Amino acid sequence: ARRSPPPRPPRRQADLMGLLARLGESRTPLSVLCLGSAGRALAGSAARQLTELAAGEDARLLVEHLSVGGAYRLDAPSLCALLGAPAVGARLRTLQLTYNPLVSGAVVGAISAHCRELSSLALDHCAALDDEALAPLAALRGLTELSLVGLPLLTLSLIHI
């Protein structure tokens, strides 16, 4: 009987860190980064490595489109630092941060302060966000798409933004 190949190991943070290290050696800057479910492995240390890739004159991470779904281990300070990196925040056009209970008002403040060119934002299922936390989004004048699905603390008072 034929044996099936062994299952591939799940992506872990170490795998993601290795991938990010190889990205740092690339000669071509990355402008689109979609981590999807791999975002689960994205914790503070991987976010710090991304921030380092976005720093300096030879930045390898010049992101215009960032999608991180399910990165429930990615804390607010790490996310704020990543968004504050000029090669990331200042260039971002679309941002999807979904299914992260650690996304807070501080993160929304960082988005509002550093991602001035943002036209599309999804904060779906970031359950800690309420009306007050989302208020800084009013400063994003170029925002044309906003998705706030699954925010249980949200009320209709946000509509005036």
Task: Summarize pLDDT for 80-111 with one digit per residue, the tens.
Answer: 988 888 878 888 999 999 998 889 999 999 99
How much is the pTM?
A: 0.77
Indicate if the alpha-carbon torsion angle 20, 40, 105, 123 is positive or negative.
positive
User: Looking at residue 7, what is its pLDDT?
Assistant: 47
* All residues at 6 or more sequence positions from 122 whose CB lies less than 8 Å from its CB, including other chains: 95, 96, 97, 98, 145, 146, 147, 149
Q: What is the DSSP letter of 99?
A: S
Stretches where the chain sits below pLDDT 70 are 1-21, 23-30, 36-44, 56-61, 158-161
Q: State the CB neighbour count (10 A cutoff) for residue 65.
A: 15
120-122 and 94-98 as β-strands: parallel, antiparallel, unpaired?
parallel
User: Looking at residue 136, what is its pLDDT?
Assistant: 95
Angstrom distance (rounded) from CA 118 to CA 132: 20
User: Looking at residue 10, what is its pLDDT?
Assistant: 41
User: Looking at residue 106, what is its pLDDT?
Assistant: 97
